[in-house]
Each structure stands twice: as structure tokens, then as C-alpha cells.
Amino acid sequence: MVEWFDDLKIGMRFASGKATVSKEDIIRFAAEYDPQPFHLDEEAAKSSVFKGLAASGWQTAAIAMRLATECRPFGPHPLLGAGVDDLRWLKPVRPGDTLHLEGEVMELIPSRSKPQGVARVKWTAFNQHGEPVYTFNPIAIVPSRPN
């Protein structure tokens, strides 16, 4: 079990639970945070580049964050970050899609001056068909084991 930065290893993998996105979820999120026709209105969405109602990319990101938090890759420690690289929306998330998240530790950089390190985990969200829909690579700050 991971409790500290020192417990992480390159290649270590994490997997989340699942989250299903409803039409109502998509419209509610869009109405508050991303009010564009292809997120709010099924008819308008049909003539958009998405050819149908699609979740906001930011909603997909928020769902992925929730799934990452729930799988607790850094044990008892919160997911603290200094930024995110390589954030990409790969495929629209549709009403009824069920997402899950998979992560792989790609890089570990111990701090020279603080009791912590930077963990780079490449996260990918997949839909129920196993298709990648979103990927991101946060710069996570994880505490080191106390001396």
C-alpha cells in the first residue's frame, strides 16, 4: 500500500471505480459552467461538430478528478498539484457513458530541500467501450516518509 512518496515505483498502476454520466448531469453542468449549445440542447447539438449532446470537457476533467481522488493513489495524502501537462480531450463523452480511470507512475522526482517529491502519473479516462476519452498528467506533490 502506498503511504508516502518513497512507496511509489515507476510503472506502478492505479485503477478507479466507475461513474456514469446522464443527460441531466451534462445539461446541469453545462448550464452552470460551460453554457454552449452542444452541451445544453440535444437538437442544437445534432448540427454541431459533436453530432449530438456531449459533456463539457471540463465536466469530464472534474469526473476524472473525482475518480482519481477516490482511488487514493497516494494513500492517506490528498492529491496536491503544481499543474497539469498533456491534458487532452480525445473523444466526446455522451449521455449514458460510464467512465473509469487508469493511471501509471511515469516519473518520480525527490525534492532536494523538502520532505516530499513530485510524482508524475499519466491518467487516462476510458468509456464503457474501452475507448480513451481524456488524458492528463498532473505534477503531484507527495510527502516523503518522516525520518
pLDDT in tens, 32-63: 999 999 999 999 999 999 999 999 999 999 99
Of 120, 114, 108, the C-alpha closest to 147 is 114
Torsion of CA 73, 83, 57, 71, to 10 degrees: 10
Tell me what the mean pLDDT of segment 78-86 comes to.
93
Give whole-number Cα distances, 1 to 76, 124, 131, 143, in Å. Answer: 10, 22, 29, 15
Distance, in Å, from the CA atom of 104 to the CA atom of 3, rounded to the nearest integer, reads 17
Distance, in Å, from the CA atom of 31 to the CA atom of 108, rounded to the nearest integer, reads 39
Q: Render pLDDT for 100-134 as a digit per residue (tens, 0 to 9).
A: 999 999 999 999 999 999 999 999 999 999 999 99
pLDDT at 147: 80
pLDDT at 25 over 90: yes
Q: What is the mean pLDDT of the chain?
A: 96
pLDDT at 29: 98
* pTM confidence score: 0.94
pLDDT at 64: 98
pLDDT at 139 over 90: yes
CB 109 within 8 A of CB 118: yes
pLDDT at 98 over 90: yes
User: pLDDT band for position 70 (50/70/90)?
Assistant: very high
Distance, in Å, from the CA atom of 139 to the CA atom of 46, rounded to the nearest integer, reads 37
CB 15 within 8 A of CB 24: no
